[in-house]
Amino acid sequence: MKTAVCIKQVVTRDWPLRPAESATWVRDDDASFEMNEPDAYALEEALRLKERHGGEVVVCSAGPARISQVIREALARGADRAIHVESDALSAAGADAVAAALAAAMQDESFDLVLTGLQSDDQGFGQTGVVLAERLGLPHATIIMEVDIAADGAGLRVKRELESGWFQWVAMPLPALLTIQSGINQLRYATLRGIMAAKRKEIRTVPLDGVASQGQRILELYVPEKTSATRFIDGSAPEAARELVRLLREEARVL
**187 counts as binding another protein under rule CB under 8 A:** yes
Q: Of 97, 87, 108, 50, whose CA–CA distance to 217 is shortest? A: 97
Q: Give the shortest CB-60-to-another protein separation in angstroms.
A: 22
Site map 67..86 versus another protein, x via CB under 8 A: --x-----------------
Which letter does DSSP use for residue 223 in this model? Answer: P
| Residue 152 touches another protein, criterion: CB under 8 A | no
- Our measurement of the distance from residue 204's CA atom to the centroid of its chain's CA atoms, rounded to an integer in Å, reads 21
Which of these, 176, 100, 168, lies nearest to 137 by C-alpha position? Answer: 176
**Residue from 16, 54, 137, 238 binding another protein (CB under 8 A):** 16
Binding to another protein by residue 192, rule CB under 8 A?
Answer: yes
**Distance separating the N- and C-terminal Cα atoms of the chain:** 61
Confirm or reject binding of residue 15 to another protein (CB under 8 A).
yes
Binding-site member from 26, 31, 89, 244 for another protein (CB under 8 A): 31
Q: How far is CA 223 from CA 14, 34, 121, in A?
A: 15, 22, 17
Q: Across-strand partners of 29?
A: none
d(CA 123, CA 106) in angstroms, rounded, equals: 23
Q: Which of 199, 253 has the CB closer to another protein?
A: 199
Query: Per CB under 8 A, does 18 bind another protein?
Result: yes
Site for another protein contains 171 (CB under 8 A): no
Chain residues that interact with another protein, rule: CB under 8 A: 12-16, 18, 30-32, 34, 69, 186-193, 195-196, 199
